Each structure stands twice: as C-alpha cells, then as structure tokens.
Structure 1
Amino acid sequence: MISTSVVLSANDVDLFYGDTLAVKGAEISLHRGEVAAITGQSGSGKSSLLYCLAGVLPAARGEIYFEGQVLGELDDEELSMLRRERFGFVFQYGELLPELTVEENTALPLRLAGRRKAEALTAAGEVLGRLGLAELRQRRPSQVSGGQSQRIAVARALVHRPAVVFADEPTGSLDSGNATAVLEEFLSLARSQGTAVVLVTHDAQVASRADSQYTMRDGVLSALVREAT
C-alpha cells in the first residue's frame, strides 16, 4: 500500500563522471510502498541515477533526501550503515555468494546488521517460504536455476524490511516466463511490507507494473505517468 509520506526524493540532482554530465537536474519523489520504474536506452543515465539515489555515487549538485536526511551530509560510515540497514539491492544477475547456502545468502543483511544467527536464519526461512523457496534453503547458488537465483536475491533484498529497494534490471537475465513470475513476487512482497522500490529496466512491460514511470534520455529524467497516491 502506498503511503502519503515521502521516503526518498531527489531535488535538481546532477551527477558527473569526470567531465561528462551523466545525470542532469533529476527530480523524483518516492512514497512508502510505491514502485517507481525508470526506463531508457543503454547509456542514458538511469543506472547512474539509481546508484546516486542509493548514496553510492555522490551528486555534484542538488540534494537527495532519505526520510528527511540529506545523503550528502552523511559520512562514509553513516552511508554504509544506511545502505546496510535501510536499503535493499537487487542486481541483474543476483550476485549471490557461492560459498553460502541459499538460507545464509538470504540472511546476510540481518547478520551484517548484527542480528543473531538463529534469528536471522529464521527470518530468512520465512521470506523464502513466502517466495516458494523453502525447499532450497540448504542448497548452494550453483545448485539452483536462474529464476530461483533471482528469487533468492529478492528475498535477500527484502528480508530486513528495508525502506527502499534499488533494483537494477532485476529481470534482465531471465526469459519472459521467469521474468514475469519473479517481478510479480518481488513487487507483491515489497508492497505488502510497505517497501518502496526504484526499478531500472529497459523493458516497457516491466515498467508498466510500477505505480509511477519515468524515462531517462541523455541524462534527463522525465515523468511519464504519476498515479494519484
């Protein structure tokens, strides 16, 4: 369910790579439980904006706010804690740690936040169960399919109930059937938790599942659709 409260916003944000302007004057506002999709061609700046919103890349101008905090005013330790405890991430290829079991991979954000192992594994088991992955708990990433791997990455991103999940082409490596199923489960679980999602995708069908849609062209972000919240 989308809340009226804004959890993340960008105000006239520029981002440079050296002398190259990658993002120009970006404006976006994300409410709790809202899914915002950013589409655009390769090299348009959409992934750069995603990582800027997550505090991974510093804005050269403008401000990014998370729950009223200005990300640019936080030091490296504070930003790391924010990304570890309040943010979640889903990447195109899952990026699971091969030496850990599915259960341990899923529990990783909780363990990094200092939660006890038993508590973290219990929470991991619960979210894996909600995604239909309970029987895979003791397997290694090499023993699961691509679709299952991406579901596990979704479970890991959501297990600690983050305020925002940043998803960079989360279905880009999957066939259409698996992509649809993974996206459905991802967005359903995120919305049920009140977790906002920033979703970067080249796929218009994926973007159509979002509450609001933006397009990126030559570093300029434009709103396509903004549903009433």
Structure 2
Amino acid sequence: MDAVLHARGVDLLYGSQRAVSGADFALHPGEVAAVMGSSGSGKSSLLYCLAGVLAPTKGKVVFDGVSFSKLTDDELSTLRRERFGFVFQYGELLPELTVEENAALPLRLAGQRKAQAHAAAAEVLERLGLAELKQRRPSQVSGGQNQRVAVARALVHRPSVVFADEPTGALDSANAAAVLEEFLHLARSQGTAVVMVTHDAAVAAHADSQYTMTDGVLSQRVTV
C-alpha cells in the first residue's frame, strides 16, 4: 500500500541550529506512528514539517502524491483545514465556545451548515462519553474531558491524518491512558492515520510503528 504521507531528506534549520537532519518518514492509510524523543530532540519540529505548518529547509514532504512545495499558502491552509486534524498537549480549545461548538469548528470552517456540523459533533462527543457536557464551556469540564473534546475536534471531519503533539502530556496517568485509548480507537474505526510525538514509551507502545528522534536525527522505523 502506498504511503499517504512521506518525507524524504527533510532538514529544518532555525538560523544556524539544525532541528531536523535528513529525516525520512512514511505513513500509510490508517496507520498510527509514534515519534519518541526527549525535549529538544526535534520531534515537534518534524511533526510540523509533516503537517505543512513549517517548510523544510531542505528535502520534501508529500501528501497524497503532491509535494507541499508545489502548493500555495492558501492551498496548504485548505489542506490542513480539510484533510488534517490536530491534537495539542493542552487541548487549545476556544474558551468562549461550548464543548459542542469547539468540536464542530472544523466543519463550520469548511462551510458546513450549523445544524449539520453540530449533529456530527454531537455524534463524536457521544462516542467519547461527552454527550451530557456538550453545552458546557471548557472551563466547566475537567482536563481529561477537555482533551477528549480536542480529540473530537480533530476527528469530527474524518481527516486523512491527525497530528498529535504530546496528546496526553498534560494529563495524569489514569486520564492519559483512557484518553489515548479512546483517541486511537476512534481514529482507527474511521480509517484516520495518526502521527503522534511523545516522550513516553507507554504512549508509543500503542502505535503500529515507532521512530526515535535524537538531536534532530530520526531513527529507522520499527514495526510493532
């Protein structure tokens, strides 16, 4: 099966500092890949290159057969909005919106009508055990529940790939395990591939394939 997303020889420089060095990466449809590394290893920088947020200094990233370098800024923005999802360490929910409004946001930004978007969001929230909280605001629910809302937002539009940056890093161990299990189960059930970066071997153990990043160098992949 062809890779839906791949990188070849990706370098990323911040001034004279090399954050990513010659990275090769491949992700297949529905696959969950983990990139492990300590703080400052370059794993988040690689993630944002793979997501088209940062442009590599050298090398290329290709999604669905098209190199990011061939796309305009507007085309890249549309790609990220419609084909990608994102989960961040601290959720990054909009505090002025309800749980349901936050979860529906990708669909609303894509132009879907409010009723349809909210119905889709409500369905995903129910699958994550959040149906009774959909009218609350982020400040009115727990940290674990906030992160489940972030997962719902990332998956509501059935993206091809979700990029997760330390998706359970801000949670205690019990909440982290529960959120991760629900996140990956929902992603796999709808055929969404996942790239997650983590410093936690227990998180990486849930992936189909694992990479390790050290001083900007990505190791050979290991299939689990």
**TM-score, length of structure 1 as denominator length:** 0.96
Alignment of 1:81 with 2:83, yes or no, is: no
Name the amino acid aligned to 2:50: L
Instruction: Report what 2:4 is aligned to.
Output: 7
Instruction: Report what 2:223 is aligned to.
Output: 226
Instruction: Give CA-to-partner distance per residue, 1:115-167, whole Å, 9 cap, x none.
Output: 00000000000000111110011000000000000000000000000000000
Alignment of 1:119-138 (within 5 A): 119-138=116-135
Alignment of 1:36-115 (within 5 A): 36-115=33-112
Taking the aligned partners of 2:220 and 2:205, their CA distance within structure 1 comes to: 13
Name the amino acid aligned to 1:207: A
Does the 8 A contact of 1:59 with 1:72 survive in 2? no
Alignment of 1:145 with 2:142, yes or no, is: yes
Taking the aligned partners of 2:179 and 2:11, their CA distance within structure 1 comes to: 32
Instruction: Report what 1:26 is aligned to.
Output: 23
SS in 2 for 1:5: coil
Instruction: Give CA-to-partner distance per residue, 1:52-73, whole Å, 9 cap, x none.
Output: 1001100111110000010111
- Higher mean C-alpha deviation, range 12-21 or range 46-55: 12-21
Taking the aligned partners of 2:42 and 2:72, their CA distance within structure 1 comes to: 25
SS in 2 for 1:32: coil
Shift of 1:223: 2.6
- Listed as ranges, the gaps of 5+ residues in structure 1 are none
SS in 2 for 1:223: coil
- Listed as ranges, the gaps of 5+ residues in structure 2 are none
Taking the aligned partners of 1:224 and 1:162, their CA distance within structure 2 comes to: 24
Q: 1:74 to 1:224 in 2, by over 3 A?
A: closer
Name the amino acid aligned to 1:55: G
SS in 1 for 2:220: strand
Runs of 4+ residues over 6 Å off in structure 1: none
